[in-house]
Chain A
Amino acid sequence: MKITVKRWHAIAQWQWDTGKTDDNGDAEEDVCGICRIPFEGCCPTCKVPGDDCPLIWGECSHVFHMHCLLKWIGTAASKQQCPMDRRPWGETIAHLSVHTPRNLDRISISSDRREKGRRE
């Protein structure tokens, strides 16, 4: 007997590759340390998950929604530290390729503005 697959309409879920190997099903539910919303969801300000609301990987191995973290870093109280372990925040470049410059610009500009507004 020979079986040929002609066409396969499959269903899959996408998942952020957070570096953790939790291949044993959906028991593990990772949430953003800032907004407590799952990574595969979107941060409170976004409406669409995925590439429009990407994650950011810290050198300290902590992962956040990028928008959440940038907002945190934008505040003076943050002292540019990771909110989880208070180590100086540094982004790993391992996943940088996906963050489109456009996105980054927009976010940083908006957070700059907010910063400015508060100072004035």
Chain B
Amino acid sequence: MQMRSHGFPCFVVEIIMAASEALRNQVAAKWQDSFNRLNRTGVGISGLMEFSKAWAVAAEFLRPRDLGAPPKDFNTHEIRSAFDVLMQCRMLPMLLESFVACLDMSICQRICGRNQHLITDDVTRFMTEYDASGDPDVIGRLVLRLADWYFAWAPGGELGQTISSAYIVNFQTHVFSVLPAAFAAGFKRLLAATLALFTEGATPGVPASVQDSRLWPSFELLGLADRYESLIASVCYEHIETHVLETCAGKWDEPMLSRLREWMAEKVVPWMLLPYARGAKTAEEARTMLQGVGSRFDFHVCKTLCDLRTKEMFDIVIDYPDSTHALHDLKECLQRVDQRTQLVRALRKSNKKRLLHPGADTKDILTQYVSLIRCLRVIDPPGVLLFKVADPIRRYLRDRPDTIRCIVASLVVDGESGDSLVDDDEPIQPLQSAQVDDYTDPNWEPEPIDAGPDFRANKPSDVVSTLVSIYDSKDLFVKELQVLLAQRLLAVTDGNYEKERRNLEILKIRFGEAPLQVCEVMLKDMTDSKRIDQHVQSQSSSVMHPTIISRHFWPKFQSSKIQMPGQLHEIQEAYAREFMTFKPDKKLRWLSHLGSIRLEIELQDRTVGADVPPLEAAFIELFSEQDVWTLNDLIARVGTVERSAALKALLAWVDRGVLREETEDVDMQRFRLLERVPEDAGAGPVGITTAGSRTALAEEEPAVLTVQQQQAEQMKVYWKFIEGMLTNLGGLPIDRIQTMLKFAQGYDRTVDQLGAFMDAARREGLVSVKDGIWRLNR
């Protein structure tokens, strides 16, 4: 208020006139005081005059003007003395204020009709150009231009800190106010261009302004560096992201994280020095300034890589072990970035989508599961991740009918096929089962913090144990193993089953001696058979080399009773007799439908040799009795044999060109022996037209019943009980049936199995179910 009154004496006088006497005196004193200050020691009002001249000079000196206008010629001495005068009059703050007002106008508004709003004009021009071209260079030039304005208008440093800082604040404020919203985007692109310059080196396309060394100081001058700090960071983040995606996607066979960090140190850090280590005098200082921000960016590198690898995880697992390096990278990233839950979620999702569906082979699922075990063991040795990811897979596998068979088949290393799930270099060890915590262990460690309630730290760790532990009991495996071994042993014709013995020894280590005792007996049967055969052959040589098995130690065979005709029967009898003399207390019962026979058939014009199943041999033997047989007669002669199987056997001979099908109608299929190749057969095999396509229809059935078939057989026994209880008690819920069946000796089915069986019975129309109550259909 006081200051203002000095500037406007007339106004003050008016007030004085209106005021009271006391006030008038007071104002008069003040007025005198002010006058003295401005006039100083000057005579009359010469001091005042001097002051007003100095004011004019200083104001003119400070007035912002167009960059294009010719610089006014200032006498530095004159200006200095003018400022001195103002200083003595304590009028510098006033000058500053008027300067600022002037600045405001020159930037934003019209002044006195002649000074156009200079900067606004420039900004508008540049931004229009940028909007049209989208070239960051324009923004670069705009920034440089603004810097020019800044320098042109800056009051000299000699005016003291107050003026220059007030100038800076005002200049920046006004510049920011005129910059349009689009500037931020443009500025971002400009920054990106500068960063690209650092990381990719100078290319011909880089605009000049971007390479201008004045650019960053200009940012600093204009306060852009502070104002757009978050923008700068996001430019860097985005650059890191693109770089990581470009260089690392799909590259799993080399360590990428260390390479990324090198890239950061070599390329990005020099750039980061510009915004983040402004004003650092020494390298040491710069380093401390960069520390915080540097670790933020390093974190971002890890996070980006982690996200990428998480997304790729399923394929990384597929590629294992080629993708080991990617796994190690991921492990390191996960230590820095806590994204374990994301990894688990992503993996579970992709597993569900890509693995656990009916279209996937059980073997593939198992292979993937095993890879997964190995991969996650690299990333997370305690196995928490594995536990979380594996759970759905294990549950799914448990529901698949052929899982056990697949696991067992892969356990029995096949030498040639080499697609076993288990690595050869993994030591063979006994199956481990989960143990309770050992509380006396001095090295005990608590479970990891993100472990679920079901998690057990000392879970079995080797692959086979993990696979076997999918199921609650390993009995199922032993049974399946028995079936598999039986199939393999019966297929051995050359007496070389060393491979099976070796497998069994390995499996014994895993499953223990006792459960595999049965398999041991099977192998012993093989050796015994060989020995007995040697003895029998030495007594009377025979073409027959049987495998004699101990019935109760082998899986159940497909029951089929075929009678071997003619000379085949004689061979059997002769061998059985010889066996009886060797072992008088035993006799042989032939499983005629199993095994294989090598035949040589001499026909009139040719000789046919073949290894055939017994049924085929039996049929062709019958053809030596007469040349034409109907299918029904043939079946009647060999005993109980399924029509489809019989047809298949006959068609096999048709394929070999030995028989010909002569069919008038479906019920009376007749086959004729071809002693001579008929003339019309041409070059191709006989009868291929009708028979060839049909042979493919009948699927080769394995001789040994699978575990499931065996269980179904056994279940039939219990049907009698179920039928009985449903008759006596009416409808029963499944739980009651299960409880009552448990009284039966040897009943070991679960409710689920019983449910499946009852369902099958329902399909056959034996029972019906309503509201969970089962009833007999009558």
Contacts and interface: CB of A to CB of B under 8 A. Distances in A.
Interface string A46-61: 0111110011000000
A5 B568 contact: yes
B521 interface: yes
A38 interface: yes
Nearest to B491: A9
A1 interface: yes
Nearest to B609: A6
Interface in A4-33: 4-17, 25-26
B359 interface: no
A9 to B, nearest CB: 5
9 contacts: A2-B601, A3-B567, A6-B598, A9-B546, A13-B591, A14-B550, A14-B583, A26-B551, A55-B585
A98 B585 contact: yes
A10 B599 contact: no
A7 B594 contact: no
Interface in A31-82: 38, 40-41, 47-51, 54-55
A16 B550 CA distance: 11
A114 interface: no
Given A6-B600, A55-B585, 10 more contacts: A1-B624, A2-B601, A3-B624, A5-B568, A7-B598, A12-B549, A15-B587, A16-B585, A17-B586, A95-B584
Contact of B550 (A3, A49, A54): A49
Contact of B599 (A4, A41, A97): A4
Given A3-B621, A7-B543, A12 B588 contact: yes
A50 B528 contact: yes
Q: Name the interface size band of chain B.
A: 35 or more
B561 interface: yes
B490 interface: yes
B595 interface: yes
Interface in B531-581: 543-553, 559, 561, 567-568, 571-572, 575-576, 580
B152 to A, nearest CB: 106
Contact of B595 (A11, A49, A54): A11
Nearest to B673: A1
Interface residues of A, number: 32
A3 B599 contact: yes
B14 interface: no
B585 A54 contact: yes
Interface in B583-639: 583-592, 594-603, 609, 614, 617, 620-621, 623-624
B598 A12 contact: no
Interface in B433-472: none
B25 interface: no
Contact of B543 (A2, A8, A16, A55): A8
A4 B559 CA distance: 28
Contact of B572 (A4, A10, A48, A55): A10
Nearest to B590: A12
B291 interface: no
B675 A1 contact: yes
